[in-house]
Amino acid sequence: MSGPWICPDWPAPARVRALSTTRVGGVSVAPYNSLNLGTHVGDDPAAVEMNRARLGSVLPGEPAWLNQVHGTAVVDAAACAGVPDADADAAVSCSSGVVCSVMTADCLPLLLCDRAGTVVAAVHAGWRGLHGGVVEAGVAAMKVAPSEILAWLGPAIGQQAFEVGSEVRAAFMAVDRQAEAAFRPAETPAKWLADLYLLARQRLAVLGVSGIYGGDRCTFSEPDCFFSYRRDGATGRMASLIWLD
């Protein structure tokens, strides 16, 4: 799967295929340049269609595109084949050739599989989804023991760039006191810098998922590679996708 995207570095079974796109390799013009895959951000629909076609050349079928609402709903990707843009923030599949996908531009994409290669899932996790339990919902939908699950954390906004209010920190700590470690004071009074990667790792660890990989990029600070809504406002969307051969 060579191309302008990232292939997860994780010990997934051979039949598990996954990739995360960058902003490189498409036809969209600024501010969506160039591989924008989002139809909802104001880009030329024809350009988005061409970008999706370029991505589709390395996929076994059309991805289950979601209308992400920062919630916790999980859909069966196979059931979404004829229902584009289902309202959900995660998709799961046990079927060969069915592509689960989530789109991001700062939020955290999680790709999940089991060690036996029988089920995969893609999860969209901004802070609202993380707090609400989208990670837990995604893991539960896989219907395998959490100890058998591998997780890859795709490109998201890094802690140094993700400033949030005190209410966000308080909300996470009300659920789990260990979340305190994922926040450090910002230079702005009453603001905190939140670590999405650590918050996700904490949630996964509580569930019993120990095989966690990735989580080492920052969409905000790598403008040549990634779209970032917080950095640019009007911008494109990347996709993180996973499927079974």
The CATH number of residue 122's host domain is 3.60.140.10
Q: What is the pLDDT of residue 193?
A: 98
Residue 175 belongs to a domain: no
Residue 232 belongs to a domain: yes
**34-89 pLDDT, tens digit each:** 999 999 999 999 999 999 999 999 999 999 999 999 999 999 999 986 677 899 99
**207-236 pLDDT, tens digit each:** 999 999 999 999 999 999 999 999 999 999
Residue 153 structural domain: 5-157+212-244
Residue 222 belongs to a domain: yes
Q: What is the pLDDT of residue 80?
A: 85
**pLDDT band, very low/low/confident/very high, at 2 (cuts 50, 70, 90):** low
Amino acid at site 62? E
Q: What is the pLDDT of residue 83?
A: 72
Mean per-residue pLDDT over the chain, rounded: 96
Residue 189 and residue 165 in contact, taking contact as beta carbons nearer than 8 Å: no
Amino acid at site 27? V
Residue 33 pLDDT > 90, yes or no?
yes
86: exposed, middle or buried (C-beta count within 10 Å: 0-12, 13-18, 19+)? middle
Residue 118 belongs to a domain: yes
Mean pLDDT over 176-190 rounds to 96
Q: What is the pLDDT of residue 3?
A: 76
Between helices 196-207 and 134-142, what is the axis angle to 10°? 40
What percent of the chain stands above pLDDT 90?
96
State how many domains the chain has: 1
Residue 197 belongs to a domain: no
